[in-house]
Amino acid sequence: MGEFSVLGDDVDCYSMNKIKIGSKVAVSQGAYLCTGSHDISSLKRPLITKPIQINDHAWVCARATVYPGVNIGEGAVVAAGAVVIKNVPAWIIVGGNPAFKIKDRVLQE
């Protein structure tokens, strides 16, 4: 976890694999970062794990879910309640289930 980053109340880091969080990242209350699942192509459903990476200046909003193997790009925003199953490019805002691009993130400074 990088400098000036924060995990809000009730964030669940289901860390069966690595979760890397960059600098100046916010993961808001109740978010769920899940690095494990099961292979449903087998009736034995073996455990599979993949790391999650959240890059600098990103924000995972309240109650969002990030699934195994996802990379949240620099400056990206994951809207409240979003379900992220694929990588999120840098400097965009995603939301929904499954998460989709809402718009580019444009800074006003």
Identify whether 57 is a catalytic site residue.
no
Ramachandran bin of 24, using left for φ above 0, alpha for ψ from -120 to 50, beta for the remaining angles:
left
Measure the CA–CA gap between 71 and 54, rounded to whole angstroms.
6
3-state SS assignment for residue 13: strand
Peptide bond into 51 cis (omega under 30): no
Q: Which residues contact 89 (CB under 8 A, 6 or more apart)?
A: 73, 76, 101
In the set 38, 45, 86, 101, the catalytic residue is 38
Residues marked as catalytic: 38
